[in-house]
Structure 1
Amino acid sequence: MADSERSPLLSAAGSGKAPHGREPDEPVESTPLLSSSAATPRYDGERDDAHLSDAASVASRATDPASVRPAQTRSIRWPSVIAMIVLSLFALAVLILAFIVPAAVQEYAKEAAVLEPTNLSLDSITSNGVRVRIQADFRLEAQRVENEHVRRVGRAVTWLVGELGADETKINVYLPDYDDLLLGTAVVPPLTVSIVDGRNNAVDFAADLVPGDAEGIRMIANEWLEGKLNSVRLRGQADVQLRAGIIPLGTHAIAESLTFEGGDLPTIPEYNITKLNFEEKILLGGKVKAMAADVTVASFNDYPVSLDVPPMGFEILVPGCNPTDPSILVAACATDPVAVRPRAPVVVDAHGLIKELPDSLTQLCPGSDSSPLDMLFKKYLAGETATVLVRGMDYPAGGTPRWLVELLSSITVPVPFPGRTFDNLIRNFTVTDVHFTLPDLGADPNDPESRPRVSGTILVLAGLPSEMNFSLNVTSVRANADVFYRGNKLGELNLKEWQKANSTQIPATKEREAMLKIQSRINDAPLDVTDPDVLTDVIQALLFGGRQVILGVEALVDVRVETILGELVVKAVPAKGKIPVNPLGRDVMGSVAPKVGRVEITDTTATSISLKASVNITNPTPYSAHIPFISIHVESNGTTIGEARAENLEVKPGNNTNLPVSATWNPSMGGKEGVQHGRELLSQYLSGYNTTVTVRTHRGSVPSLPHLGEALSRLNLTLPAPRLRLPGSDHDGESGDGDDDDGQARFIRDATFHVLSSTATFTLVSPLARNTVFIDAVNATALYNHTEPIGRIEYALPFAAPPGASTTPRLPVDWSIDSVGYGKLREALGGTMKLDARAVVAVRLGRWTETVWYVGKGIGAGVRL
């Protein structure tokens, strides 16, 4: 550009040419510069009066004829002199403004400028950019300038200039920190604004914005989205053609840098997903099945920005196994037109379609047991914020310009997808047909066989979220579950293997939401009891509480689900539920009613008897159990008198017959008190009294779970002493001598008194199948009507009581001749009578010996000569 174009003021003053139509030496009477200044708004700055008065004085003297001498009038042309002086002064002012004032003016402009955007709207999307309409208020406010000198100079200069205009300008914006990549360009139309202090300008213009280097935009956008962008430095460059009114001020190259720190950078607006709906879609006449998703997102526009966003296409991706792995394309979606208005709600409706799931989405990650889909579901179902990736499609959709497609397809936006918890999703949780298996005695402690195992049928009724409007079928489940009682952890139920399951969907009604009924059979699931004390509390509540016991379950469930997209494995679904366990009943132990049948002695010592027996019990509970091995102590009056053991028992609900049980009678386990209590208990038992024993677990009850047996030992389970089944019993398990003469079997079945020989024989019944009991001594008294003596028997020779029924040798009787009882005996000669007996008997079985007392009542006795 020529110098005259860049400095029009100087070129006008420096040329020796007169205005068109005048000769060079013709006097100039008009002063266009001064006259033009008269139209300039007056500047009310400081010290104006002195300058104006001096100017008025000079002007008055120059125009007063009386003040001019004739000689001077002839030799000097005053109008030319005045013009030259004014031009010289103006040139001096220009030099001052050019070399001294600009720094002050620039500082004034920066501090005094106020720009208030009122509206920013998108007029249209063009083939190479966008046209936006910008509305704002612009003014200079001198009071914002802190430096007094700068404020005065700025006021003066802006008052003198008045208006400042700019021709159409192209502004380039660069990124200095990214090798001066071109961020974009803006073409601004001609503008004219008043720069007088305090005068407001309502600016309203349309500008064309064209994006620059796509790689640079993508780079800075991705850094911003990843949170790595702490600051951005921009540099704007433009050649601006300025003018003051009609006076051109030349073209000026302007470059300005601007830095945005972290707090100044814009953020992704907050949003809420107000609608989420999944449903099946049948495409191409039933040839293609797909899953459709409708999403509505609501946000709020806090800025004075208005635009209409046309329909656009996007791709939905899921992060891969590692951050460095490529993202996995899952679905395509399109948005409806979106209307964005200043400071108003914004609603975006999007529609997606999933035709199939790529293998990379469901394949396990290297060195892991989870797939990318597993990791996504894990966060979502745990109520955490999952992240999906949104990227523009790389092909035009809905008439979208190519430049916008290329730009959007190069930027991947991570979108936080708020998860939802499934608390209270399970409406009902029940377990039926429960079967417990105690640990295997010989299993290694690290072997699952060394832990209790549970089998049963699980029935779950779960509510389906309203957004799931498609069919699904649960085919199998597995889980790791923590079991709690009253907030305390009882143990862990580990289902590592897949358990078959089936499900039935129940449609929603007006009164009820849609439900999913799931049924699964678990087999031998290991139960790790982590707190035996809690288990003790549970058992105690079941036995004695009389109320339903509620167990809490917190589980991470893996589910295999068949959907329209194929089979999915959803892992680590958090689930909470409650397992109501019905009480066993307050009289459950009495209902067990153990009855001992066949008894066989296996070993004896001086103080103990080891035996085997078959036992019949009634299981009043709905639970079954497999017992590889269990040992319990038998107590009487707080002292241990023996031990019972069982191996490989299968206990089912209801009657259980011929269960093999081993036992050891050894009162010496309880010391001296145990021996005494054992003798008393045995005497009462043989006499038919209603005796009870206490069974208690101990540390060795379940060898692989010593803490369990130790914890359960706090429970005092008192049971009736098991009845022995005697040969000839009318009812299995009834024994002992009672008052009732109903034909029930007793240890002493009957007796025969021989009056003349003063002897008596007794029929004894032994419950032992293969062993013979020896009676070493007898000291007994026969009574009539419980109190009247009939005779006394003292016998010190041993005799045998073999298995089954046997008759004793004739035992000598010393009659009580003067007693009423003896009289009744004589009256019954040749017949029978009822008598009672009291005796102290020394018994021997193998190496074991003991002296017991015996009381028999209602013994049928025949009387013979």
Structure 2
Amino acid sequence: MSGDEASPLLSSARKGKGNDRDPRGSGESTPLLSNTSATPGYDGDVAEPEVDQASIQSRHSHAPSTHSTKKKARRWPSFIAMGILGCVAIAIIILAFIVPDAVQEYAQQAAVIEPTSLSIDSITTDGVRARIQANFRLDGSRVKNDYVRRIGKASTWVANQLGSEKAEIDVYVPDYANILLGSAVIPPLVVSIRDGVTTHFDFVADIRPGNADGMRMIANDWLDGRLDKLLLNGKTDLSLKSGVIPLGTHAISETLLFEANKIPAIPKYNITRFNVEDGPLKGSMLVDMSLVAFNEYPIELNIPELAFEIMVPGCANTDPFIVIAEASTGEIHVKPLTDVSANIYGVINKLPDTFTRVCPDSSSSPLDMLLKQYMHGEPATLFVRGSSRPDGDTPKWIADILASVTVPVPFPGRTFDGLIRDFSLTDVHFTLPDPFADPNDPAASPKVSGNILVTASIPSEMNFGINVTRVRATADVLYRNKKMGELNLRKWQHANSTRTEGEGSDGPSLKIQSRIIEAPLEITDSDVFSDVVQALLFGNKPIQLDVQALVDVKVETSLGELILKEVPAEGKIPVKPLPKGAIGNIDPKVGSIRVVDSSTDSITLQALVNITNPTPYTAHVPFVNVHLVANGSVLGDGTIQNVEIETGNNTNLLVTAKWNPTDGGPQSRKIGRDLISQYLSGFNTSITVKPHLNSIPGQPLLCRALSRFNATFTVPHLSLPGDPSGENSHFIRDATFHFLSSTATFTLVSPLQFNTLYLDFVNATALYNHSEPVGRILYDLPFAAPPGISHTPRLPVEWSIGSVGYDAVRNAIGGKLKLDAHAIVDARLGNWKETFWYQGKGIGATVRLT
């Protein structure tokens, strides 16, 4: 048989008939049940359906469901039935004529079988009774050889129709010692064999499974990704007749080959409910979950209640699986081309010692390894096997199949990065190190005492009692994302916890309290520690030390005492500083700017600056010079001298700044150019103020301390003419386009009050709706932008004729519209020259005809 007919169950999906749910089409490797994107998951995500797998290995990585195991076990009879239906129909044609070779070739190429429905009428003690509905026809246009097509059409026209007697078909697997996969009893059939005439089949077939051990071997090879092909051989003795004319009994043997990419995959599923709660008996928990998958096939059946064992790996790969729970499914109703829902109920009794005992040559138990995978968001692989004690109503043949196959089930993990809502250390007390202690003595490290308060989120599916009794941790202490040291809490600390139910959409939480006394703080970076000391001296608010910890927690549950290891936790430790200034709250605002000096590579500016002193102190600053830094490059320096700093607002402080990024090389110049370009374009930009070893002449020790401290500020907005609030960052205020003359003029706003800026070159593009080009301006004649508001000369515009932007401008003649502008300009201020880029959005543009 051809490749198309070798998988009759899937032919309709391949031709795009009977299922329009997936516009991408469905290949023959489409699973019987796949995930549907319309079903919400229990974690809020929506799983994407997969319709075309490339290999058995890729399917092995898909998440199977519990009910998919037993469903998989009984899908082979469905394949047998539909495959045999095709074999019978073609065999009737092949054996009926005087010219068997040509007719055989014609039948193989012209036969079209379209299954429309497959439903399980009932499950019997030795198999299933299936109702099969399908369409069969011969399509001569599929035959490429003209001679074969003519002979076949003539022969089938003469014969008109053929019939077969009741037949029993056995299906074998040659590659597995020719084991019997199953048998099917097919009732008498009559098929029309004239070209283009469709025969509708609707019959009931009794299907019995074959060798259970052989089916187990095939299933295990399939699950392990070793099944690259599956060869099936169907055999029967078929009695034929044409009308009332008997054609004798013929031994029929047909072979179907399923390639790896055409063998159905384990269906993907989506967990829609998952809940764990204390059981009615002490030492037990109940698990209640629901999952949904999508049935992409015209198959209908009712799956009875089934029982399973849930297992986890042992310490070593050679160890037997550990049974940790028993589960059962409710009755599952499978309908064609729709979502299939399954309810699963599980019971976890006292955990086995082999599950909680530490493995040899390791510090973790199988429970620890499972929880570590789950809490780090990785799929925690469970194994599902049919129960050795099935329900009494389960037919033995189903129980034997399910109990012989173990299916790995990747249970979706859940990242616990957000498990800890708050982590704080209050009533902090620092003990400074003993200066006379030996460097290896713990007394040489500073110590921390305080109350730990942790608020942890409890996943909504965990509805069982839990009490934290002890905690321990190894925590990294950071300041401004730099590790300062390690807080040693390796000894178990007493703790207690209180569960609090959430309000509204907030889930439940667990408040954990513990008291630590003189826990050693091992300093690992003296420079960062110096930064902390400086912040305590110069800050005006409590500094925050970040803590990143892996916490071990002892908890009491109905299953006993468990240890959750390496739970990630993040938090902050506030430390009160001395009551001195807060650099971060200075909030500078720039007023007027004047150019006092310039060269080809640098420019010196003087500006009047307003700042806020949030401390209760005042200061006289005779001279302070700091570096201006961005992205690690020094771009210039700023100086204040003979300045009186008062409490509260300080206005019109004279600050001198020299912009000279070229001293740092080409990279620094590029960083400075980009910084100014971003600022002119209205981006949020920041610059770092960093003292250096000569910030205050004659004070080397103070400078050394200050040089380890820096502060980053958002570059303040400049006050522009016509915008007293200083919030409008558009240096291009508006534009006027002259359509017929293909020119444009722009209104420019300069923040300089005493100096004229010259633009020597302009390469600009106007955009409509952020991306549609309107036109391009290329202008290389210098023009001035004096202080305040000014207008450019008429700049030539090269229209983007035929574009959406051009049409928008043409339609706006006599009106206005909003445009964006991208430009590269050469600017000159005194002797200083630089090239900048500019991106402006929402510029009001007036369009005139002339």
Q: Trace 1:456-605 onto structure 2 (pairs within 5 A).
A: 456-510=450-504, 512-586=506-580
**Within the alignment, does 1:232 sit opposite 2:230 as a pair?**
yes
The answer to whether the aligner puts 1:209 opposite 2:203 as a matched pair is: no
Partner residue in 2 for 1:281? 279
For residues 381 and 520 of structure 2, the distance between their equivalents in structure 1, rounded to whole angstroms, comes to 36
AA of the residue aligned to 2:530: T
What displacement does 1:354 show? 0.9
| Distance (Å, rounded) in 1 between the aligned partners of 2:458 and 2:390 | 38
**In 2 relative to 1, CA 159–514 (structure 1 residues): closer, same or farther, beyond 3 Å?**
same
Q: Report the CA distance between 1:427 and its aligned residue.
A: 2.6
* Partners of 1:533 and 1:711 within 8 A in 2: no
Give aligned-pair identity as a percent: 57
Alpha-carbon distance in 2 for matches of 1:245, 1:452: 103
The higher-RCO structure (CA 8 Å, 6+ apart) is 2
Per the alignment, in what secondary structure is the counterpart of residue 279 of structure 2?
strand
Q: TM-score, normalised by structure 2?
A: 0.55
Structure 2 counterpart of 1:561, one-letter code: V
Bigger Rg, structure 1 or 2: 1
Counterpart in the other structure of 1:371: 365
> Secondary structure, in 3 states, of the residue corresponding to 2:354?
helix
Aligned with residue 218 of structure 2, among 214, 217, 220: 220
Q: Give deviations 1:447-497, integer Å, cap 9, x for gaps.
A: 867655544321111222211111111111222333333333444444333
Q: Secondary structure at the match of 2:402?
A: helix
Q: 1:254 aligns with which of 247, 252, 275?
A: 252
Change (3 A) 1:190 1:100: closer
Shift of 1:226: 2.5
1:411 corresponds, among 384, 405, 414, to 405
**3-state DSSP of counterpart to 2:580:** coil
Shift of 1:445: 7.0
Aligned partner of 2:166: which letter? E
SS at match of 1:546: coil
Q: Which runs of 5+ in 1 are unaligned?
A: 1-95, 589-636, 638-692, 699-709, 717-865
Amino acid at match of 2:151: V
Mapped to 1, the partners of 2:220 and 2:168 lie a distance apart of 27
Shift of 1:106: 1.7
Cα distance in structure 2, aligned partners of 1:199 and 1:307? 30
2:133 to 126, 132, 135: 135
2:172, 2:179 within 8 Å by CA — same for their partners in 1? yes
Task: Give, in angstroms, the shift of residue 695 of structure 1.
Answer: 12
C-alpha displacement at 1:525, in angstroms? 4.3
Match for residue 316 of structure 2 among 313, 319, 322:
322
CA distance in 2, matches of 1:388, 1:244: 57
Q: Which sits farther off after the overlay, 437-446 or 362-371?
A: 437-446
Aligned to 1:89: none
Contact 1:451 1:528 (C-alpha < 8 Å) held by counterparts: yes
Q: 1:409 is aligned with what amino acid?
A: A
Distance in 1, Cα, partners of 2:326 & 2:437: 55
Other-structure match for 2:771: none
Alpha carbons 1:536, 1:712 under 8 Å: kept: no
Letter in 2 for 1:237: K
* 1:559 partner letter: V
- Cα shift at 1:331: 0.7
* Partner residue, 2:184: 186
Q: 1:100 to 1:468 in 2, by over 3 A?
A: same
Return the match for 1:291 from 285, 288, 301: 285
Q: What secondary structure sits across from 1:497 in the alignment? A: strand
Cα deviation, residue 423, structure 1 = 3.6
TM-superposed deviation, 1:534: 3.2
Pair 1:438–1:224, CA change in 2 (3 A): farther
The Cα of 1:553 is off from its aligned counterpart by 3.2
Write the letter of the residue equivalent to 1:231: K
**Number of residue pairs aligned between Structure 1 and Structure 2:** 504
1:336 aligns with 2:340: no
Q: TM-score, normalised by structure 1?
A: 0.54
Distance 1:388 1:531 in 2: 44
In the other structure, the counterpart of 2:591 is none
C-alpha distance in structure 2 between counterparts of 1:246 and 1:444, whole Å:
111
| Pair 456,103 (structure 1): closer, same or farther in 2 beyond 3 Å | farther
CA–CA distance in structure 1, aligned partners of residues 376 and 475 of structure 2: 15
Q: Are residues 494 and 418 of structure 1, via their aligned partners in 2, closer, same or farther at CA, if it must alter by over 3 Å?
A: farther
2-structure distance, mates of 1:256, 1:576: 66
Q: Tell me, in whole angstroms, the C-alpha distance in 2 between the residues paired with 1:417 and 1:341.
A: 26
- What SS is found at the alignment partner of 2:337? coil
How far 1:359 moved relative to its partner?
Answer: 0.5
| Contact 1:532/1:711, CA 8 A, preserved across alignment | no
Q: Which moved more, 1:571-580 or 1:190-199?
A: 571-580
Counterpart contact for 1:430–1:459, Cα < 8 Å? yes
Whichever residue aligns with residue 147 of structure 1, its letter is N
Deviation at 1:507, TM superposition (A): 3.1
**Aligned AA for 1:335?**
T
Check conservation: 2:425, 2:572, Cα contact below 8 A: no
Instruction: Using the TM superposition, give the Cα deviation of residue 711 of structure 1 relative to its aligned residue in structure 2, in angstroms.
Output: 9.3
In the TM superposition, residue 502 of structure 1 has moved relative to its aligned partner by 1.4
Structure-2 change in CA distance of 1:511 and 1:212 (3 Å): closer
Offset from partner CA, 1:678-709 (integer Å, 9 cap, x none):
xxxxxxxxxxxxxxx999799xxxxxxxxxxx
Q: Could you say if the C-alpha distance between residues 260 and 252 of structure 1 is closer, same or farther in structure 2, counting changes exceeding 3 Å?
A: same
Shift in CA distance, 100/327, structure 1 to aligned 2, threshold 3 Å: same
TM-superposed CA distance for 1:424, in Å, is 3.1
CA contact (8 A) 1:169 1:240 kept: yes
Residue type of the alignment partner of 1:365: C
Partner Cα separation in structure 2 for residue 303 and residue 212 of structure 1: 24
Q: Is the 8 A contact 1:462 1:516 kept in 2?
A: yes
Query: Contact (CA 8 Å) 1:532, 1:712: kept in 2 or not?
Result: no
Match of 1:801 in 2: none
TM superposition shift of 1:572: 2.2
Match of 1:108 among 83, 106, 109: 106
Q: Determine if contact 2:428/2:575 at 8 Å carries over to the other structure.
A: no
Judge conservation of contact 1:181–1:216 (CA < 8 Å) in 2: yes
CA RMSD of aligned residues (A): 3.1
2 CA distance for matches of 1:164 and 1:328?
58
- Contact 1:315–1:332 under 8 Å retained in 2: yes
Distance 1:164 1:328, change over 3 A: same
Q: Closer, same or farther in 2 for the Cα pair 1:511/1:418, shift >3 Å?
A: closer
SS at match of 1:282: coil
Alignment of 1:739-778 (within 5 A): none
Asked if 2 retains the 8 angstrom alpha-carbon contact of 1:696 and 1:715, the reply is no
Match of 2:377 in 1: 383
Q: How does 1:613-628 map to 2 (within 5 A)?
A: none
Tell me, yes or no, if the aligned pair for 1:271 and 1:299 is still in contact at 8 Å: yes
Show CA shifts across 1:636-693 (max 9, x none).
x9xxxxxxxxxxxxxxxxxxxxxxxxxxxxxxxxxxxxxxxxxxxxxxxxxxxxxxx9
Letter in 2 for 1:258: L
Deviations 1:782-826 (A, max 9, x none): xxxxxxxxxxxxxxxxxxxxxxxxxxxxxxxxxxxxxxxxxxxxx
> Equivalences for 1:415-430 in 2 at 5 Å?
415-430=409-424
Superposition deviation, residue 127 in structure 1: 0.1
* Shift of residue 715, structure 1, vs aligned partner: 7.0
**Contact 2:534–2:705 (8 Å) recurs in 1:** no
Cα gap change, 1:465 to 1:696, in 2 (>3 Å): farther
Q: In structure 2, the residue corresponding to 1:146 is in which secondary structure?
A: coil
Distance 1:527-1:233 versus aligned 2 partners, 3 A rule: farther
CA distance in 2, matches of 1:440, 1:213: 79
Distance 1:190 1:564, change over 3 A: same
Residues in 2 aligned to 1:258 and 1:357: alpha-carbon distance in whole angstroms: 48
**Aligned equivalents of 2:356, 2:172: Cα separation in 1:** 44
Measured at CA, do residues 356 and 148 of structure 1 come closer, stay the same or move farther in structure 2, by a change above 3 Å?
Answer: same
Q: Distance in 1 between matches of 2:700 and 2:423?
A: 34
Q: Distance in 1 between matches of 2:432 and 2:165?
A: 94
